[in-house]
Structures are given as C-alpha cells and as structure tokens.
C-alpha cells in the first residue's frame, strides 16, 4: 500500500462491489470526500455497513492504483 493518508469524517456507503473470489463483501465508500474501496477478503467489508452514517477515523492508501481503505475505527 502506497501514499497512506488519514481521513476523519462521516462514512457513507456508495455501492456494493462484486464479492471477492472467496465470497466476502466489498464496498465503495466515501469518507469526508475521499472515495475508496474495501480490500478483498478484509474484515472491513463486514464492518462498513454497521458504520454507515457514523463518524470514523480511517487511513486510505493506493493499492494497484485504486484508493483502498487501510484501517477504520469509529470515533
């Protein structure tokens, strides 16, 4: 993961992406103007739905040129 930056804001779920090869959910999300995706097979794929509309602290980096959620915690 490259170019990791922190973002604090309200998490908004944009849309559900195709599931990973192992069947785990993936999401396109927005945090304070930062659009990103969850990693394939990440536990955050399950946590995002519960944090929709909540204030969060996240780190976002680029993974193969795509902005990707690195860490996530509710504030």
Q: Which domain holds residue 34?
A: 2-74
Cβ within 8 Å of residue 54, ≥6 positions away: 10, 11, 74
CA distance 28 to 7: 16
Looking up residue 8, the CATH number of its domain turns out to be 2.40.50
Query: Measured between alpha carbons, how far is residue 31 from residues 44, 47, 55, 61 in Å?
Result: 14, 14, 9, 13
Q: Examine the pLDDT at 1 and tell me if it is beyond 80.
A: no
Q: Which of 75, 72, 65 is nearest to 29 (CA)?
A: 72
**In this predicted model, what pLDDT tens digit does every residue of 2-60 receive, in sequence order?**
889 999 999 999 999 999 999 999 999 999 899 999 999 999 999 999 999 999 999 99
Q: Say how many domains are in the chain.
A: 1
């Amino acid at each position: 993961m490259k170019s990791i930056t922190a973002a604090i804001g309200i998490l908004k779920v944009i849309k559900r992406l195709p599931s990973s090869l192992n069947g785990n959910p993936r999401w396109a999300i927005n945090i304070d103007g930062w659009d990103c995706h969850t990693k394939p097979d990440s536990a955050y794929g399950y946590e995002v739905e519960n944090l929709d509309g909540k204030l969060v602290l996240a780190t976002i980096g680029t993974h193969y040129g795509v902005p990707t959620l690195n860490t996530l915690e509710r504030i």
